[in-house]
Amino acid sequence: MATKPGKITVVGSGFYGSTTALRLAQYDVVGTVVLTDILEGRPEGLALDINQSRSIEGFETEVVGVGGGSYEGTEGSDVVVVTAGLPRKPGMSRMDLIETNAGIVREVAENVARTSPDAVVIVVSNPLDEMTALAQLATGFPTQRVMGQAGMLDTARFTDNVARELGVPTSSVRTLTLGSHGDTMVPVPSRCTVDGRPLSEVLDADRIAHLVDRTRNGGAEVVALLRTGSAYYAPSAAAARMAKAVIEDAGSVLPVCAWVDGEYGISGVYLGVEAEIGREGVRRVVEGDLTDDELAGLREAAEAVRAKQADVADL
């Protein structure tokens, strides 16, 4: 029996989805986490495995597995995390997945709208910015209740890159990444600090440029090393933290893919920005100081994803 209120559904029981479900269960912030998949048996088996770890790890959240493409048991979810879709393989870009994953995400979104009409939806399927836009169109939800996970992941990768370069704890590093989850990603060096000092004071410009480039290619680097599948530990951590911020009505300011309507001189597009997250999803987009080059990059990213987001309406 659920010991506290609240339900989060994770759609897709692959490595990403199952790890997200595990993290959410261990947070112990809701009574139930539902893990769904088109496969029979896999989500049920994973749920049983996670539940059997509760006494060891000291959490009470119950994980429920639902296979066969059913949404029974997901009804009335407070948050739905959409991980369903094909992962990248070596040599593939995120955009190579657009047509296949569009069909999957549209079907998921329509089911979510039917079973959990008041949910906040967090999309993680690639290509991220386009799939977030498609999920909003397919659910018909207000834009603030549909957001995408990318900025937190890309920022975490930037942080790790800087920490490793300097040999310092990650806790001493603050970074930020905006823009798209792809080629027009915009790492923001001007907002980065190490022990409170600007990044430009502790690293040469060429090393910063190298770390920016490595951050942009962070996902491809993991895919190339794994050879089969793509990253899921860091991405699931980011998605779970976003869901937790919604459930706790935290008001946390996080880098996410959110609907931008006038901020930074950009309107009418889903884009990686900082946003205040609460029970209703995105409370507001938070504008921060950017250099002229960074602002130009963000606007370039907006135009790059705008065209693709317009296309997904027909997919």
Q: Indicate if 181 belongs to the active site.
A: yes
CA dist 99 and 66 (Å) reads 26
CA gap 308, 95 in Å, rounded: 9
101 annotated ligand-binding residue: yes
Q: Is 191 annotated as a binding residue?
A: no
The answer to whether the annotation marks 96 as part of a ligand binding site is no
Query: Which pair of structure tokens corresponds to residue 288?
Result: 């921060």
106 is in an annotated binding site: no
> Do the annotations mark residue 284 as ligand-binding?
no
267 among annotated binding-site residues: no
H, E, C per residue of 64-85: EEECCCCCCCCCCCCEEEECCC
* Dihedral angle sign, alpha carbons of residues 234, 238, 243, 247: positive
Please check if 37 is assigned to a binding site.
yes
Give the dihedral sign, CA 288/207/151/101: positive
Q: Is 217 annotated as a binding residue?
A: no
Residue 27 annotated as part of some ligand binding site: no
- Per DSSP, the chain holds a count of helices (H) and strands (E) of 11, 14
Is 17 known as a binding-site position? yes
Beta strands in 188-266 (DSSP E): 193-194, 197-198, 252-261
Check whether 126 is labelled as a binding-site residue: yes
H or E segment to which residue 277 belongs: strand 267-278
Catalytic pick from 181, 241, 244, 306?
181
What does the block give as tokens for 131? 């799939």
Annotated binding-site residue numbers for NAD(+): 12-17, 37, 101, 124-126
Annotated binding-site residue numbers for substrate: 88, 94, 126, 157
Residues that are catalytic: 181
